[in-house]
Homo-oligomer: A and B are copies of this chain.
Amino acid sequence: MYSFRNDYSEGAHPKVLKALTETNLEQTCGYGLDPHCARAAELIRTLCAAPEADVHFLVGGTQANLVVIEALTKPYEAVIAAHTGHIHVHETGAVEATGRKVLAVPSPDGKLTPALIESVPELHSNEHQVKPAMVYVSNTTEIGTVYSKAELAALRACCDQHGLLLFLDGARLGSALACSDLTLPDYAALTDAFYIGGTKNGALFGEALVFSRPREDFRWYMKRRGAMLAKGRLLGVQFQALLEDGAFLDAARHANALALRLRDGIAAQGYSLPVESPSNQQFPVLPNETVRRLQELGYEFEIDHAVDGGHTQIRLVTSWATPERAVEDFLRDLASCK
């Protein structure tokens, strides 16, 4: 039976493994100063239509978040995030560990809006309060929702008005790219920093961080937090493999398509999916007994929360590696639980 627990349950996309194998015995400089990283960065600048962009490769998302936030803010500054934001709830205080406060704003759908940002009391603070300096958003969000271009542009305008930086966590940017009107050039133009998540879309690991303007000292920040991979070229090789002929987007499209098939199939069986997600995470509400039966059949997934005494919202995640068959099996077995 299949695990819909996450989009990082398998290893790497075959193109990634192939590229790693083919380049295995090449000798290169360490720490990301090699030709593979250079080519991957150039490719990303081209795809982003951002010739000035500064590209860095990091191993994981929490690492990327903490190093970026530390590098772009002063010690007494703070980051505004949705209360569901990954940095607020799922990183064991990694941002606070750099001394920065996260100002969490309750959000109905995991997204921030100008109005939510402007509701932050500290926005007009004095020296007795932290000073908001950055807005952190995720796309797709932690609950699968997706920003439109108009929404991200509105956040940019709001940030400009209040002197805030805009940082976009793209751990699931592939899925977002495959289901919204936002393109890589949009992300580069509208944010101060964002990353293209490899871990959750076909890489063994890796996040490609894009700064709209050069950050000359960012490598110091990386090294100081243990975020500089010795064999850095592994990151360049993987992103080249994923990006140079469209495998990255294809992988995300595949994941999204299967997620929507799950969504539609589940809805067709009469179950509700309260979160409107067009992306690779779906959150159906099922009777507790059904959840148990699916688990007994061997399906794996996360329990999101108990909706009421008799129902549970679960999370189903698809990936580049999910076989169509797994989705069909799941829907058939779900139907049999009735």
Contacts and interface: CB of A to CB of B under 8 A. Distances in A.
Interface of A: 2-3, 5-6, 8-12, 14, 17, 20-21, 23-31, 59-67, 70, 74-76, 78, 89-94, 96-102, 104, 121-122, 127-131, 199-200, 204-205, 217, 219-231, 234, 300, 321
A290 B44 CA distance: 41
B10 A30 contact: no
The majority secondary structure among interface residues of chain A is loop
| Complex copy number for this chain | 4
Contacts of A127: 31, 92, 219-220, 222-223, 228
A277 to B, nearest CB: 21
A222 B221 CA distance: 18
Contacts of A129: 89-90, 92
A98 to B, nearest CB: 8
Contacts of A227: 63, 226
A29 B140 CA distance: 22
Nearest to A65: B226
Contacts of A99: 93, 96-99
Contacts of A222: 127
23 contacts: A5-B29, A11-B20, A11-B24, A11-B25, A11-B26, A14-B24, A17-B20, A17-B21, A31-B127, A63-B226, A66-B225, A76-B217, A76-B221, A89-B129, A90-B128, A91-B223, A91-B224, A93-B130, A127-B220, A127-B222, A127-B228, A130-B224, A204-B234
